[in-house]
Chains A and B, each alone.
Chain A
Amino acid sequence: MSVEHVLTTCPYCGTGCYFFLQVVDGRLVGVVPCKTDEISLGRLCIKGYNAHAFVQHPDRLKHPMIRIDGELKPVSWDDALGRFAEELRRIREKHGPDSIAILASAKCTNEDNYLFQKLARAVVGTNNVDHCARLCHASTVTGLLYSFGSGAMTNTVPEFEKADCILVTGSNTLEAHPLIGSRILRALDRGAKVIVIDPRDTPLSRLATIKLNQISGTDIAWINGMIKLIIDEGLYDEDFVNARTEAFEELKEAVKGYNLAKVESITGIPGQMLAEAARVYAKSKKAMVAYAMGVTQHSNGTDLVKALANLSMVTGHIGKESTGLNPLRGQCNVQGACDAGGLPNLFPGYQRVDDKSARAKFEAAWGVRLPEKPGLTLTCAIEEAAAGKLKAMVVFGENVMLSDPDLNHVEEALKKLELLVVADIFPTETIKFAHIVLPAACYAEKDGTFTSTDRAIRVLRKAVDPPGEALPDWQIACDIGRRLGSKGFEFSSSAQIMDEMASVTPIYAGIDHARADNTVLRWPCPAKDHPGTRILHTQKFTKGLGTFAPVHHSPPAEETSEDYPLILTTGRNLFQYHTGTMTRRSPKLEREAPEPYAEVNRADAKRLGVSDGERVMVSSRRGSIALKARVTERIIQGSIFIPFHYAEAAANRLTNAALDPDSKIPEFKVCAVRLEKA
């Protein structure tokens, strides 16, 4: 009889809560919070408490499969990987390395992701490696690299509770990052002022000191309006602006036209209320901004992120305890997948592939010539596949057939591929199109590390064996690397992979599994005796001086019309997670939110003759879905909200694949739709 409590990291959002998996004789029986964990403080959300529920589900993929005569048939690992290697080699020879793309995964470990990008770059010979960060915070990475030189949270999760003012925009924090939301509640209870600016009423906005609803896609207008007022009223931090930043005159010029009346006409936010919010934020001693997909998922997402960076810099609210700009990352390891180089233009640690010296370093470390041309983003890879130029896609733990915009188009693209290999834990919508399927171990079945949203290295410890023949992703990557003739995949543990990653990644240089095991280390951690970094940009910005970016409001890519008069915005709810692969197989979570719905404002519903609970059809220029209407005051008039978790009414059949030009993130947050009775 063996009973174990295995300390590991939650596989849902990017907060990085530790908890214990309770294991009795190899059976997962529950989750126990870790009371001494500095992130979670011994608390969890409903997803965390149910994080054991899907692990030993009968639907888990247990054997490798190859599609034979249209059907997936179980085969041996040797056959599956043999075919995989053979096909990859054939396609590379026939169409060149850039006809192949590898999708890394924000659900896999740092070590897994390091190998995925190494496989693409050093073995296939392409920079075509990307992952779903493209769909969530790509614009944060591009925007903040421009403004500050580093695209990550400037502060840590615990610091939220000590702030005097927290401005939350485009983040439904209590539902999407519950334990960060809980820190904001602690701040609120202490008397801090919480400002929420969002087109929807969220559980947090209903408790906020100031709550403002803007029309989706008008954010740069209110941010510029705030900055103008702050400058005009002399509330900006002159010393900080002079000493730490550049291009202030350009900023001043850019925001000149954004007076309160004009901003109100664009955003719908009453001028005086915006002014009040601006004053509260600017005057607070310690002020934090938290933002998420509501900011990033726009066709001008990069500009929007830069606008928020302008706001933090002009007030000097950055680089200090409980003071900064904080993108909340939504997946357990989306930060780490970016850090580990799962991006088409960046090596591990944000070193550019088109930088000669960076490339030379990796060439020396890996002993191969590396491609210099930045690769395809996830969104562009789908385009290229649809155009017949991309021939093979290798997907580690992503469900593009539900998570990507304009699914009808994604489906066409996937069908055109000569080779689609998917490694995953469950039979997903994407697997329906796969030629080879590989069963992967999930978070509870392997060792490794995640990097949480506040740059902390969180440790995963194996609690149970994977089902059937499933293997950890890093082992799959090693095997395929060796079969393709590479010598750089001789690893016998994930700790060894981290050692190699640390040796080529300056911000991770001081990190190894032994250190991370009992200490919370946050990058940059440049040496083995370095304690890690809690707050970024304290003395100077990563790039030196912070750069103000003159950015302007522009309308979303798709505006409403007579045929499509409503704005659709998409997102998460508390109980489901992303494409539902895990949560919909967790009974307690599925029970809370079992079916798709569209939130419709009461006045719109009345006008359209739709009552609460009635079935409706929602259509955009790209497709239609049928689902229930949830009539509510929680969304502004003229907009509807649909969560993107449900395959049976996939919101992404409707969304627009219009891309931000810099970051190639799609505009999930705005598209024009029509709603009618089904």
Chain B
Amino acid sequence: MSDLGKKLASIAFDELGADYLLAMREEHGNVAPVMLARGQDPGEIRLDVPYQLVNILSNIYPWLKDGKVAVVTRRCDEKALEEFFKRELFDPRRILKIGLACSKEQVAKCRCSDPVPAKTHIGEPQKAMEKDELSEKLMAMPPEERLRFWAYQFKKCNKCFACTLTCPVCFCDECILEEKTFVPEPGIPPGMSFHLIRAYHLADKCIECGECERSCPAEIPLLTLRKLLAKDVKEIFGFAPGDRKTVSPLLTVLEEGCNEC
């Protein structure tokens, strides 16, 4: 058992009283997500590869009948969990957090403005990045040129749905992107509406973990798209996702007697 594995197991099972631990470890020359039960050897734990564990957990959660799961959580994972709790998709009593402060390199890759978890168990907290260079470059462009940039990027899309499948805050049971009315074009690329609908759908949920961008085979700078929209939502509505106590300003409550819909 490695030192990191020992430390992690001790936090999860002794300190937090979890029944399971969700982390990553080295297997077959690669790094794999791993769910360990109390007492199992954690092996060569590796926390330097940015698997989106909350998304991985959301796949497994419906099958977990009982027990508490300790999850290695970066700051963005914490915020994702808040969105789950807000919608009562996870029972907060069953999810325990092991705070992981991201490395300087990871913070830079994510252009992350909020990298430090509420409680850091592992890692050294790093300074936030205040700006995303591509965002600034794009906003300095004339609108036509910016449109050309995104049109080219979206033309590379091969409709793998990684951006939704790997997204921790894509919650809908029925995905609007699979609805022919909204994404009518047969084949690929799916057209700009695909990406814009998705961007708007996540406007009040995206916690900027960057997993969509990392998973995109076409390397469309999706995190920049998210950051640009998040900035607008913050400026216009004074709202940022990732806190279970706040309500999205985009949720409209209809007056009684409204026959509009």
Taking Cβ atoms with an 8 Å cutoff, the residues of A that contact B are 1-5, 7, 18, 20, 22, 24-25, 27, 29-30, 32-37, 42-46, 48-49, 174-175, 178-179, 181-182, 185-186, 189, 203, 206-207, 459, 461, 517-520, 573-574, 588, 591-593, 630
Interchain nearest-CB distance for B45 vs A (Å): 14
Contact A44-B218, Cβ < 8 Å, known A1-B67, A29-B59: no
Contact A32-B33, Cβ < 8 Å, known A24-B60, A574-B158: yes
* B29 contacts the other chain (CB 8 A): yes
Whether A459 contacts B162 by the Cβ 8 Å rule is no
Interchain nearest-CB distance for B73 vs A (Å): 17
Within 8 A of A (CB), among B1-49: 20, 27-35, 37, 49
Whether B32 contacts A574 by the Cβ 8 Å rule is no
Chain A residues with Cβ below 8 Å from B35 are 3-5
Interchain nearest-CB distance for A301 vs B (Å): 27
| Whole-angstrom CA separation of A181 from B64 in the bound complex | 38
Closest to B19 in A: A1
Closest to B51 in A: A35
Partner of B215, one of A5, A42, A588, A591: A42
Partner of B30, one of A34, A44, A46: A34
Whether B158 contacts A174 by the Cβ 8 Å rule is yes
Whether A181 contacts B28 by the Cβ 8 Å rule is no
Most B Cβ at <10 Å: residue of A43, A189, A206: A43
Whether A178 contacts B65 by the Cβ 8 Å rule is no
| Whole-angstrom CA separation of A27 from B30 in the bound complex | 23
Partner of A518, one of B29, B50, B65, B165: B29
| Whole-angstrom CA separation of A573 from B159 in the bound complex | 12
3 shortest A-B CB distances, which residue pairs? A518-B29, A182-B217, A3-B35
Q: A1-B64, A181-B158 are in contact. List 10 more A-B contacts (CB 8 A).
A: A3-B20, A20-B33, A24-B64, A32-B51, A33-B215, A35-B51, A42-B215, A182-B218, A461-B28, A588-B178
| Whole-angstrom CA separation of A4 from B51 in the bound complex | 15
Whether B29 contacts A34 by the Cβ 8 Å rule is no
Chain B residues with Cβ below 8 Å from A32 are 33, 51, 56, 59
Closest to B69 in A: A3
Partner of B214, one of A37, A42, A181: A42
Q: List 18 A-B contacts (CB under 8 A).
A: A20-B32, A24-B63, A24-B64, A27-B63, A29-B59, A33-B166, A34-B30, A43-B217, A44-B160, A49-B162, A174-B188, A181-B158, A182-B158, A182-B218, A186-B219, A203-B188, A520-B29, A574-B188
Whether A517 contacts B34 by the Cβ 8 Å rule is no
Interchain nearest-CB distance for B109 vs A (Å): 13
Chain B residues with Cβ below 8 Å from A206 are 155
* B231 contacts the other chain (CB 8 A): no
Chain A residues with Cβ below 8 Å from B237 are none
| Whole-angstrom CA separation of A452 from B44 in the bound complex | 28
Chain A residues with Cβ below 8 Å from B216 are 43
Contact A29-B156, Cβ < 8 Å, known A43-B216, A174-B188: no
* B186 contacts the other chain (CB 8 A): yes
* B200 contacts the other chain (CB 8 A): no
Interchain nearest-CB distance for A418 vs B (Å): 44
Partner of B50, one of A35, A174, A181, A592: A35
Chain B residues with Cβ below 8 Å from A203 are 158, 187-189
Chain A residues with Cβ below 8 Å from B31 are 34-36
Chain B residues with Cβ below 8 Å from A3 are 20, 35, 60, 63-64
Contact with A along B165-208 (1 / 0, CB 8 A): 11000000000001000000011110000000000000000000
Partner of B219, one of A4, A189, A591: A189
Whether A29 contacts B60 by the Cβ 8 Å rule is yes
Partner of A5, one of B29, B32, B187: B32
Whether B165 contacts A185 by the Cβ 8 Å rule is no
| Whole-angstrom CA separation of A7 from B34 in the bound complex | 11
Whether A36 contacts B49 by the Cβ 8 Å rule is yes
Interchain nearest-CB distance for A464 vs B (Å): 14
